[in-house]
Amino acid sequence: MKREDSKVAGGQERFRLVADAAGRRLARLVPPQGTSVGSSVRNDLRLEASGVSRHHARFVPAGEVLWVEDRASKNGIWLGDRRIDRQALVAGDRVRLGEVWITVERVAADDAEVALAWPRIPTSPTAPVLDEPTTLLPGVGSPFELQPVATLFPGLRLPEEFVVGPSSRMLRLLGEVERVAADRSPALLLGETGTGKELVARAIHRSSTRSSGPFVAVNCAALPSELVEAELFGVARGAATGVAARIGALRTADGGTFFLDEVGELPMVLQAKLLRILESAELAPLGGTATPLDVRFVAATNRDLRVECGAGRFRLDLYFRLAAFTLSLPPLRERREDLPALLGAFVERFSRAAGREPAGLSLRLLECVESYGWPGNLRELAHEVRRWVTFAPEGEIFDSSLLSPEIRAALDAERDAGTGRPADDSLDLDLRLAATEREIVSRALAVASGNQSLAARLLGISRNGLAAKIARHGLAAAGEAGGSSSEPDDDRT
């Protein structure tokens, strides 16, 4: 195949790999440290296709060429009809790995919506050794030794939808879950809404000796106040005229794990009854007698229960009963290293559910995901990815145009706050005038290459007047003057 010109208009460029495998097109921007390719989940670009070895090839950029080297694969790397071990490639070259063709392309470094990035999909979770400081995803070339989660935590049995990333916060939590699961005492899960508290509760259940028993989850905030007692504790036969017998969620969980979500919403009158059950291990339905109950309690809340106790809204004795073990789940903004793994898993899950092939993500979209605070945590991220899958045209990548209006507005507001710009809908005249003045002064300094005398003439003000505006808007301190603020006061143009 004829090689294309490796230069692309627009200045600086980077390489990307475009793989065609069984009708599925995957693309990966090659970072300066290189990209590993193979069928193993540990590769940067994972290719599940016939003839592709677990660790097949590595591509490393070097100036105007992209080097490819064989990593002791079974079927080799083919350029045309020639098998290669190490070869310099340029834009337009195509190499074959098993049944997969990979094309080398060049893209402008700032063309973020075209340069694709494909999040790794962790079908077999892996993680670095605990306490190893890193912000990198597990993968070939990472500066730490990878070990499967099953090796790090042999007693842990995670739910299928539980995605493991490399952040030290989550790895530490997994170790705590493994140890707590081996005990029978109640556990209290603390964390913001959407952090995955029920998933952790299910992991505790699946990893315990009660895994063969039922797992029953009840959201205390969703129960109607007039039915909450009957729903939780049940109703005995003949308790009242015209009232049917009901087993209740607690009795249903006998022999297993009972998960009380949003336990801080439980009415005070029922907190006393729950405390009695915890102390006596017996359950008395409404209108009935108490019988033994074998249940392991796991509760969760996004409230500070100590504050609730101080305010008289939660019983202190019940808090200490439930908090035999306390696990704190980190919000998504404190474990951003896990975002690529979570994105890959959500894209794969929702795309398959919609009957379509997973698409790649543009670099700009990835930057937006990493910049956003995700106050709704995992739940908000999952809803956002589902939106992309729903609205993206079939066969096209996910780009930043798919972001929900709420996220786009939050990112714009954060950017405006960082630059001192007022919000677009602000009617504060002084604030808008100050922002406009700041922008004009900054542009004049940039045009004058930092020469303040020239910038002052362009603005039609004195040199001292410009210095005052620079100080007022913090341009010199922020380094936005485009050069030194102490240029000689001469008449150079």
Q: For the domain that residue 82 is a member of, what is the CATH number?
A: 2.60.200.20
Q: Which amino acid is at 201?
A: A
Residue 158 belongs to a domain:
no
Last residue of a domain, one of 300, 328, 356: 328
| pLDDT (mean) for 37-62 | 86
Same domain? For 251 and 178 the reply is: yes
- Max mean pLDDT among 61-75, 146-160, 196-210 falls in 196-210
pLDDT, tens digit, 9 for 90 and up, residues 424-462: 555 556 666 777 777 788 777 877 777 888 888 878 888
Q: Residue 450 sits in which domain range?
A: 429-478
b/e burial code for range 147-185 (CB count within 10 A of at least 16 → b): eebeebbeebbbeeebbbbbbbebbebbebbbebbeeee
Distance CA 429, CA 438 (A): 14
Selection from 462, 464, 442, 451 nearest residue 493 by Cα: 451
Residue 130 belongs to a domain:
no
List 107's β-bridge partners, or say none: 14
Question: 73: how many CB neighbours lie within 10 A of its CB?
Answer: 18
The two counts, helices (H) then strands (E), for the chain are 16, 22
Query: What is the model's pLDDT at position 82?
Result: 93
CB 20 within 8 A of CB 48: no
Distance CA 320, CA 52 (A): 55
Distance CA 416, CA 425 (A): 12
Say what the alpha-carbon torsion angle 366, 367, 372, 376 is, to the nearest 10 degrees.
10
Name residues whose C-beta falls within 8 Å of residue 486's C-beta, 6 or more positions apart in sequence.
none
Total structural domains within the chain: 4
Same domain? For 23 and 75 the reply is: yes
Instruction: Read off the tokens for 53.
Output: 């070895």
CB 315 within 8 A of CB 328: no
Query: What is the model's pLDDT at position 428?
Result: 56
Query: What is the model's pLDDT at position 326?
Result: 97
**CATH (domain of 436):** 1.10.10
Same domain? For 176 and 312 the reply is: yes
- Average pLDDT of the chain is 80
Selection from 321, 325, 318, 215 nearest residue 270 by Cα: 318
**CATH (domain of 289):** 3.40.50.300
Last residue of a domain, one of 307, 328, 349: 328
Distance CA 422, CA 413 (A): 8
Residue 2 belongs to a domain:
no
Same domain? For 273 and 401 the reply is: no
Last residue of a domain, one of 328, 354, 377: 328
What's this model's pTM, rounded to 2 decimal places?
Answer: 0.63
Query: What is the model's pLDDT at position 222?
Result: 85
Distance CA 164, CA 456 (A): 56
Query: What is the model's pLDDT at position 124?
Result: 37
Same domain? For 181 and 277 the reply is: yes
The pLDDT confidence band at residue 302, using thresholds 50, 70 and 90, is very high
Q: Per-residue pLDDT for 114 more than 80?
A: no
Same domain? For 28 and 84 the reply is: yes
CB 174 within 8 A of CB 149: yes
pLDDT, tens digit, 9 for 90 and up, residues 377-402: 999 999 999 999 999 888 788 888 89
b/e burial code for range 251-285 (CB count within 10 A of at least 16 → b): bebbebbbbbbbbbbbeeebbebbbebbeeeebbb
Same domain? For 342 and 317 the reply is: no
Q: Per-residue pLDDT for 77 more than 80?
A: yes
Q: What is the DSSP string of 364-398?
A: HHHHHHHHS--TTHHHHHHHHHHHHHHHSPTTS-B
- Dihedrals phi, psi of 149, to nearest 5 degrees: -60, -35
Q: Output the CA angle 449-454-457, nearest 5 degrees.
A: 140
Query: What is the model's pLDDT at position 117?
Result: 54
Same domain? For 56 and 86 the reply is: yes
Query: What is the model's pLDDT at position 274?
Result: 93
Instruction: Read off the tokens for 46.
Output: 């994972």
Same domain? For 301 and 361 the reply is: no
Residue 189 belongs to a domain:
yes
Same domain? For 279 and 175 the reply is: yes
Same domain? For 271 and 288 the reply is: yes
**CATH (domain of 405):** 1.10.8.60
Residue 401 belongs to a domain:
yes
Residue 146 belongs to a domain:
no
Which residue intervals of 25-113 are DSSP H helices? Answer: none
Residue 253 belongs to a domain:
yes
Q: Per-residue pLDDT for 157 more than 60?
A: yes
List 95's β-bridge partners, or say none: 102
Distance CA 109, CA 124 (A): 32
Residue 303 belongs to a domain:
yes
Same domain? For 352 and 229 the reply is: no
